[in-house]
Chains A and B, each alone.
Chain A
Amino acid sequence: DAKTTQPTSMDCAEGRAANLPCNHSTISGNEYVYWYRQIHSQGPQYIIHGLKNNETNEMASLIITEDRKSSTLILPHATLRDTAVYYCIVSEDSSYKLIFGSGTRLLVRP
């Protein structure tokens, strides 16, 4: 079973920031937070991951709370192409097995 809880769905306006929350209250010290997304019917796409510190790359930013029990994925300027299901996954970095939950279905509105 997934160790994370995410809202079932969210929406945001095109051009605005999309903030997707994830709760992982049972995360252990050696587990990372990973985010993937799946655009309709395509294979999942890696977005970003982090352990403790906030992370940023060309796609998104990841904010992890100090107690590491929750995190937020931020898409700074959402576009229509960001409409997808977003999965928050926690796992040890050495583990190869991704455990996908139900994710958050993000709809970006024109």
Chain B
Amino acid sequence: NAGVMQNPRHLVRRRGQEARLRCSPMKGHSHVYWYRQLPEEGLKFMVYLQKENIIDESGMPKERFSAEFPKEGPSILRIQQVVRGDSAAYFCASSPLDLKAEAFFGQGTRLTVV
């Protein structure tokens, strides 16, 4: 049973470009969460999605960031017009229900904006 798969593991973008981060939840999991970890800081909740629905995006920056979890395919975190401050590790987690005790995290995508 494969765990939560994130790709790419490392992503380098120039300022102003778009970054697309993908997350495939564990088999049978229909809840996906995205977290961001700035250098030397703890993880911060960004968004909670179920299939085709955004349940809670209270942690998402108001501009340039969006997330989706389509009926088919992985969840996507999209960052438009990236800036240096977007450089961070982005972690995805999934769970079968909204029980965080069963939240399994992926290995993360490390975004570097140059």
Nearest CB in chain A: distance from B57 CB, A:
12
Select B42's contact among A42, A46, A93, A102, beta carbons within 8 Å: A102
Compute how far the CA of A5 lies from the CA of B45 in the bound complex, rounded to whole angstroms.
Answer: 19
B89 A41 Cβ-Cβ under 8 A: yes
B101 A42 Cβ-Cβ under 8 A: no
- What residues on B are CB-neighbors of A95 within 8 Å? 100
Binary CB contact string for chain B from 48 to 78 against chain A (1 if under 8 A, 0 otherwise): 1000000110000000000000000000000
A43 B108 Cβ-Cβ under 8 A: yes
A96 B42 Cβ-Cβ under 8 A: no
A96 B101 Cβ-Cβ under 8 A: no
- What residues on B are CB-neighbors of A41 within 8 Å? 89, 108, 110
How many B residues face the partner with a CB closer than 8 A?
A: 28
- What residues on A are CB-neighbors of B108 within 8 Å? 41-43
How many A residues face the partner with a CB closer than 8 A?
A: 24
Select A43's contact among B99, B100, B107, beta carbons within 8 Å: B107
- What residues on A are CB-neighbors of B4 within 8 Å? 43
Binary CB contact string for chain B from 8 to 38 against chain A (1 if under 8 A, 0 otherwise): 0000000000000000000000010101000
Interface residues of B in 67-114 (CB under 8 A from A): 89, 91, 93, 95, 98-108, 110
| Residues in A lying within 8 Å of B, measured CB to CB | 2, 32, 34, 38, 41-46, 49, 87, 91, 93-103
| Other contacts beyond A38-B43, A43-B91, A96-B99: 17, CB < 8 A | A43-B93, A43-B105, A43-B106, A44-B43, A44-B105, A46-B103, A46-B104, A87-B42, A93-B101, A96-B103, A97-B45, A97-B48, A97-B100, A98-B43, A98-B103, A100-B35, A100-B44
